[in-house]
Each structure stands twice: as C-alpha cells, then as structure tokens.
C-alpha cells in the first residue's frame, strides 16, 4: 500500500507549540490529524487500522510498537493544548483543551476523537503548512520534526 500524497494541512498555530511532545507522540498526532481532517467539522469518532498507523510511522508490527502507541495515546489524551489567537477585530481568543478527547484500541483499530473547541480551531486555519507524512516517518529527532 502506498501512502504517496498523504499530506497534512496543519494550522501553524499548532505547529508553533512548546516542544514537549516526544518524537513518537508528534508523529502520531500528525497522522491522526491527517486522518480526521476531512470530518473535523463534524462530531464524529475517527478510526484508523493499527497496521496503517504503524506503516505511517515506518515501524514493523510488534507488541513493543503497540505499547509505544498506547503510551503515546495516553500522553496525547492528557496533553493540554493552549492557544491565544489574535483575531481580525484585534481581540484575543484564549483557550485550552486536551489534544485527544479519547482513544480506544479494539480489534486492531484505533478509535479517537477531538473536543469541539480544538476541532473548530484546526478546521479553518488562516495560516497553515502542508506536511508530508511519508517524509515525516524518516525523522529521528523531535526538534527536527517540529521545524
């Protein structure tokens, strides 16, 4: 299966965050955002087969890779995302939420969701970057991936 042309359109507001995520957490966060983006305007539970997630990560399937994914999902579920946006009317909008509202692995499928305020902020960004997830899997340093 080829993952060519798997680009994530990512708001620069979420690119310019403190780099407290590990490399694995950042990669998983990017993959999940890309997979969910087309339905961000809806309150839905997203899903991705674990095999697809593992391939996007450039890993081989193993109990160790599954454990790394589980640990990363726990962190993303507790990781706070804070934003302070300068609006067109020269007012500020501040907010905070967790990155993931929930995550569940069942029958080799990962189901996950985002809270509404985060979905709204990410769905229609004013400024965004296009990230190639195929290239992302080659990074071995969280600081390089953040750039």
**38-47, 52-61, 73-82, 83-92: which range is least confident on average?**
83-92
Quick one: tokens of 57? 């990560």
Which is it for the CA torsion 20, 108, 97, 38, positive or negative? positive
Helix ranges (DSSP H) in 63-146: 63-78, 116-123, 133-136, 142-146
62/53 Cα distance (integer angstroms): 13
Q: What string of DSSP letters covers 16-36?
A: SS-S-S-HHHHHHHHHHHHHH
Tell whether the model's pLDDT for residue 98 goes beyond 60.
Answer: yes
Q: What are the residue ranges spanned by the domains of the chain?
A: 7-140
What is the chain's Cα-based Rg? 15
Q: Which CATH architecture has domain 7-140?
A: Orthogonal Bundle (1.10)
Tell whether the model's pLDDT for residue 146 goes beyond 60.
Answer: no
- List the end-to-end C-alpha distance of the chain, in Å, as a whole number: 28
8 A C-beta contact, residue 23 and residue 140: yes
Question: pLDDT confidence of 64, banded at 50, 70, 90?
Answer: very high
Three-point CA angle 81, 86, 75, nearest 5°: 5
Chain segment 101-128, per-residue pLDDT in tens: 999 999 999 999 999 988 887 776 554 5
> Taking the complete model, does pTM exceed 0.75, yes or no?
no
Which of 3, 14, 24 has its CA nearest to residue 129?
A: 14
């Amino acid at each position: 299966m080829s993952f060519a042309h798997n680009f994530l359109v990512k708001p620069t507001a979420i690119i310019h965050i403190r780099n407290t995520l590990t490399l694995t957490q950042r990669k998983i966060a990017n993959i999940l955002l890309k997979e969910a983006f087309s339905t961000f305007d809806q309150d839905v539970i997203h899903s991705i087969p674990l095999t697809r997630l593992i391939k996007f990560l450039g890993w081989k399937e193993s109990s160790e890779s599954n454990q790394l994914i589980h640990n990363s999902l726990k962190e993303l579920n507790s990781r706070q995302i804070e934003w302070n946006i300068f609006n067109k009317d020269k007012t500020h909008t501040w907010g905070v939420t967790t990155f993931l509202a929930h995550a569940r692995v069942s029958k080799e499928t990962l189901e996950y969701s985002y809270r509404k305020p985060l979905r709204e902020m990410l769905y229609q960004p004013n400024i965004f970057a296009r990230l190639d997830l195929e290239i992302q899997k080659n990074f071995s340093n969280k600081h390089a991936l953040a750039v």
